[in-house]
Amino acid sequence: MEILQEKALLSIKGKIGKILLVLAGLLLGILFSYCNDKEGPSGFAHVLMLDNSFSPQLMKVPESATIEFINVGGNPHNAISADGSWSTEKTFGNLVMNRGQKTKVTYPQKGVYPYYCSFHATKDAKQGMVGTVVVGDVSYETSKTGKKIEPITKWTGVTRNVPKQYPTIQNAVDAANPGDLVLVEKGIYREQVTVTTPYLIIRGVSRNDVILDGEFVRANGIMVMGADGVAIENMTARNYQLNGFFWTSLKGYRGSYLTAYNNGDYGIYAFDSVDGLLENSYASGSPDSGFYIGQCYPCNAVIRDVTAEYNALGYSGTNSGGELYIIRSLWKNNIVGLAPNSLDRELLPPERETTIVANLILDNNYKDAPIGALEYPSFGNGILIPGGRGNRIERNLIGNHVNNGIGLLLNLDDNVWLAHDNIVKDNIIFNSGRADISLSGPMSKGNCFSGNKFRTTLPPLLEELSSCNGIRFPQGSDLSFVFGAASMMIDAADGDFPHSSYKKQPIPVSQLEMPEELFTKSEPAYNVFEKNKPNLANVDLPQEANEILKQIGANKSSSLGILATIQPFTFGSFLYHWIGFLLPYMMFITWVSMSLYDINNRTDLGTNALPISLFVVFLPFIGAFYYLIFGKSTLPKWFRYTIVFGSLVIFMALISFTGIIIARGIGGKQLE
Amino acid sequence: MENPGMLSLLVSFYGYFIPFILMSVWIPLSLIDLLKNEELSGKIGWTFAIILIPLFGAAAYLLLKSKHIQSQIKNAVVYGGFGILVFIFILSNVLKV
């Protein structure tokens, strides 16, 4: 008998060694795949196929980059290079791509590739549904002459008046030379304007009475495509299927005193563009974000004195950052105030080094927002950092959010993006449903929290144990918010979430006109960042904050901490959230306490009780699993198998369920 | 911006759960012992201490008062636990997790 037990013990020791090795290998594998830098550029670009246009029409990518083409329109589409070198037919396997279908094309050779949709354009890629991919560092000029134009820093003195000289804005823009001013008189302009001439100034005489109207049938209000230095001032764009004002693939942009409302993708939008300023502007009613600066590093850009409301996201910037300042602005009544994020579906991940200072961020719990399934899990938060790094969040006033004031968490795309090295300092956060500040898992490094005024943090003691200058203890692995967000994804995948259409959003009140003195100062957008880089020490909260500051404390919030349910409440999401979050804890406690109880009752283990206890307790799950299944435990077999495999099966079922639902339900964006 | 190293991520993940692990082991062990412990006076006080003073209540009971837990197990889970806690604390400050 004793010999048998001795053997069993020896075999336990041998197996423990093997299991340890396997476990270490597994962990290293996971971590290594996370840290491993792939060859070629990280992330991929994406081009939407709409009815009937590509967006963006011009896409610049580095050599060996990949572009994903996604049909979000109702018609069948494809993309074929004019020179025949690539097509979506080759990668997708079918000339016809229907709504929701997507395919990835990789570009190993540098060059300029005009392309077309064979159903909706001419084969020379000049008329109809056409686009251009520019790969690598090749010269490509969109201007009329096709030649590179030296930067123009001053107005040429030429004014082109719409409609006195030119009947449409597009006519005036086409006629203009770099450095000219296009001046638009009051009126409603039912057109979409594409700008390919650099250094223009496009100005309305009245912000509220110069209106570009897409009537829900045109794509973009004003799209500046590859043309550097274009400034747009003092006008409104509404009811476009995609964007109000849009700069793409260029250097130098400025948007001043602009209003964009009820546009179907973004309000005011800069993509793959650097050196910019968006100021004194207003964006509402967009199902993605009001303001967006994406895919740039360093962006060298400033957003200041703007207001965003009734959007899905007030500000969103995917894979942007580096000298990117968002200051003194008002973000209210969206589903989330600001959400700079990392995703694989655009180039240059991760999002990093965005500076968010002195903003007023309120009530971002807007249930009638025009959101899609992809946006819904960010509901009810002031600032979310999904997978962002090295962002500075300072001196903001953030209040009345049903979930979190500030939330740091992972973002899930083709890769897992974790939030690291973010600095959260000196903010005032009040009346949040879950937590004023939430740091969420599954892992993170270097996020720090100091000098904030708040009532609740998750995990607790965040400022004490993850302070910016003091001691550190790991805090970045709380999974309650991760499971909460996942529960919302599951609701969203079923279409079970509150949302409305961008076409039905509130029409904004009259907005502040551009001051008279700026009419005499006409400047193209040259060297914009250098001239407008903020001195952060002098940046104060917007005026509206003073009233709010007086009222804080009047309405107190309470929070159930990690057990607080995500809002909006549904029974399904509540069950999922609690079971998903608590099950691993229950499994751990059950397995370990039963193992220790058994070890304590055994007299045959002798001095081996110590290493076996260590193994069971401090190698989470693996240790106790191994002991209960292979460790000659004296507990009855039916009991051991029930607590181990029973709970494992339930947990695995939950994880597979999540995986299937999310893979099926959360794809690209949906456009109406 | 550098990618955080594997060790940092591992320490951040494991370290976060260590206090939970210690509580979920120490509390049931001390309560089981307390139930069987005929000699102990002030059982209600100890029960409160174990469940209400995070970590230290249960650790104090196990080290000072327990009678029915093998000393090997006690050493492993209490001293071992404190050792790992201190180790994680030092590592996380060195690695700036």
A406-417, pLDDT tens digit by residue? 999 999 888 899
Enumerate residue ranges in chain B where pLDDT < 70.
Answer: 1
Of A142-146, A282-286, A666-670, B58-62, which range is least confident? A666-670
Report pLDDT for A19: 47
- A217/chain B closest Cα distance in angstroms: 43
Candidates A410, A610, A616, A627, partner chain B, best to mutate (most B CBs within 10 A)? A610
Between A486 and A308, the more confident residue is: A308
* Inside any domain, residue A160: no
* Inside any domain, residue A162: no
- Cβ atoms of A508 and A259 within 8 Å: the answer is yes
Residues of A in contact with B3 (CB under 8 A): 35, 37
Q: Which residues of A379-402 are buried (b: 16+ CB within 10 A; e: fewer)?
A: bbbbbbbbbbbbbbbbbbbbbbbb
Cβ–Cβ gap A477/B70 under 8 Å: no
Cβ–Cβ gap A31/B29 under 8 Å: no
Residue A40 has pLDDT above 80, yes or no: no
Count of other CB atoms within 10 angstroms of residue A624: 26
Confidence class for position A662, pLDDT limits 50, 70, 90: confident
Of A18-27, A185-194, A662-671, which range is least confident? A18-27
* Final residue before a domain boundary, out of A135, A166, A191: A135
Cβ–Cβ gap A474/B75 under 8 Å: no
pTM of the predicted protein model = 0.89
Cβ–Cβ gap B96/A472 under 8 Å: yes
Cβ–Cβ gap A476/B29 under 8 Å: no
* Inside any domain, residue A622: yes
Size of interface A-B (CB pairs under 8 A): 123
Residues of B in contact with A597 (CB under 8 A): 32
Give me the domain span that covers residue A484: 343-498+539-569
Candidates B7, B68, B70, partner chain A, best to mutate (most A CBs within 10 A)? B70
Confidence class for position A141, pLDDT limits 50, 70, 90: confident
Report pLDDT for A20: 46
Q: Which residue, among A569, A607, A522, has the nearest Cα to A256 in the 3D structure?
A: A522
Report pLDDT for A557: 62
Report pLDDT for A558: 65
Q: Would you report the helix, strand and coil content of chain B in percent, each value rounded to 5?
A: 75, 0, 25
Domain ranges of chain B: 6-95
Report pLDDT for A1: 41
Cβ–Cβ gap A474/B25 under 8 Å: no
Confidence class for position A489, pLDDT limits 50, 70, 90: confident
Q: Are residues A494 and A360 in the same domain?
A: yes
Q: Is B11 exposed, middle or buried (0-12, 13-18, 19+ CB in 10 A)?
A: buried
Q: Tell whether A553 is within 8 A of chain B (Cβ).
A: no
Report pLDDT for A127: 83
B residues 44..83 contacting A (CB < 8 A): 68-70, 72-73, 75-77, 80-81
* Final residue before a domain boundary, out of A569, A587, A615: A569
Q: Which of A45-49, A346-350, A355-359, A654-658 has the highest mean pLDDT?
A: A355-359
A residues 368..397 contacting B (CB < 8 A): 389-390
* Inside any domain, residue A655: yes
Q: Tell whether A445 is within 8 A of chain B (Cβ).
A: yes
- A667/chain B closest Cα distance in angstroms: 27
Q: What percent of chain A has pLDDT over 90?
A: 70
Confidence class for position A521, pLDDT limits 50, 70, 90: very high
Residue A21 has pLDDT above 80, yes or no: no
Q: Are residues A600 and A548 in the same domain?
A: no
- Which residue does chain A place closest to B17, by CA atoms? A477
Residue A299 has pLDDT above 80, yes or no: yes
Distance from C-alpha of A437 to C-alpha of A449, rounded to nearest angstrom:
9
Q: What total of structural domains would you count in chain A?
A: 3
Report pLDDT for A10: 46
Report pLDDT for A36: 46
Distance from C-alpha of A143 to C-alpha of A198, rounded to nearest angstrom:
7
Residues of A in contact with B76 (CB under 8 A): 609-611, 613-614, 617
The shortest CB-CB distance from B77 to any of A352, A459, A613 is to A613
Q: Are residues A375 and A419 in the same domain?
A: yes
- Which residue does chain B place closest to A589, by CA atoms? B24
Distance from C-alpha of A473 to C-alpha of A464, rounded to nearest angstrom:
9
Q: Are residues A472 and A433 in the same domain?
A: yes
Q: Are residues A580 and A605 in the same domain?
A: yes
Q: Are residues A354 and A462 in the same domain?
A: yes
Q: Tell whether B29 is within 8 A of chain A (Cβ).
A: yes
Helices (H), ranges, A327-466: 462-465
Report pLDDT for A128: 85
Per-residue pLDDT, averaged over A440-460, amounts to 92
Q: Which residues of A231-268 are buried (b: 16+ CB within 10 A; e: fewer)?
A: bbbbbbbbbbbbbbbbbbbbbbbbbbbbbbbbbbbbbb
Q: Are residues A360 and A464 in the same domain?
A: yes
Report pLDDT for A167: 97
* Inside any domain, residue A196: no
Between A562 and A486, the more confident residue is: A486
Does A377 sit behind a cis peptide bond, omega within 30 degrees of 0 on the bond before it? no
Residue A667 has pLDDT above 70, yes or no: no
Task: Give kind and range of the element (H or E) at residue A428.
Answer: strand A428-432
Which one-letter amino acid corresponds to residue A381?
N
Q: Are residues A416 and A370 in the same domain?
A: yes
* Inside any domain, residue A483: yes
* Inside any domain, residue A484: yes
Confidence class for position A233, pLDDT limits 50, 70, 90: very high
Report pLDDT for B11: 92
Residues of A in contact with B77 (CB under 8 A): 596, 613-614, 617
* Inside any domain, residue A435: yes
Residue A2 has pLDDT above 80, yes or no: no
Q: Are residues A543 and A599 in the same domain?
A: no
- A589/chain B closest Cα distance in angstroms: 6
The shortest CB-CB distance from B97 to any of A474, A593, A613 is to A474
Distance from C-alpha of A181 to C-alpha of A191, rounded to nearest angstrom:
19
Q: Are residues A483 and A355 in the same domain?
A: yes
Q: Tell whether A452 is within 8 A of chain B (Cβ).
A: no
Of A71-80, A518-527, A611-620, B79-88, which range is least confident? A71-80
- B77/chain A closest Cα distance in angstroms: 6
Q: Tell whether A588 is within 8 A of chain B (Cβ).
A: yes
Give the angle A422-A426-A430 at the CA atoms, nearest 5°: 100
Long-range pairs for B28-31: beta carbons < 8 A, 24 or more residues apart: B28/A589, B28/A593, B28/A596, B29/A593, B29/A596, B29/A600, B29/B58, B29/B62, B29/B66, B29/B69, B29/B73, B29/B77, B30/B58, B30/B61, B30/B62, B30/B66
Report pLDDT for A37: 45
What the block records as the tokens of B45 is 């006080």
* Final residue before a domain boundary, out of A87, A110, A135: A135
- A146/chain B closest Cα distance in angstroms: 37
Report pLDDT for A566: 83
Q: Tell whether B97 is within 8 A of chain A (Cβ).
A: yes
Report pLDDT for A195: 95
- Cβ atoms of A87 and A66 within 8 Å: the answer is no
Q: Are residues A458 and A564 in the same domain?
A: yes
Count how many Cα atoms sit within 13 Å of the Cα of residue A474 in the half-sphere of its side chain: 30
Residues of B in contact with A389 (CB under 8 A): 1
Residues of B in contact with A477 (CB under 8 A): 12-13, 16-17
Of A58-72, A106-120, A438-452, A484-498, which range is least confident? A484-498
Of A120-124, A425-429, A645-649, B79-83, which range is least confident? A120-124
Q: Which residues of A1-18 are buried (b: 16+ CB within 10 A; e: fewer)?
A: eeeeeeeebeebeeebee
Residue A58's alpha-carbon distances to A76, A130, A224, A225, A339, in angstroms, are 21, 9, 10, 7, 26
Q: Are residues A452 and A563 in the same domain?
A: yes
Between A61 and A19, the more confident residue is: A61
pLDDT tens column, A598-636: 999 998 998 899 999 999 999 999 999 999 999 999 999
Q: Tell whether A31 is within 8 A of chain B (Cβ).
A: yes
Per-residue pLDDT, averaged over A203-209, amounts to 98
Q: Tell whether A475 is within 8 A of chain B (Cβ).
A: yes
Report pLDDT for A35: 47
Candidates A478, A614, A621, partner chain B, best to mutate (most B CBs within 10 A)? A614
Report pLDDT for A561: 73
CATH of the domain at A127: 2.60.40.420
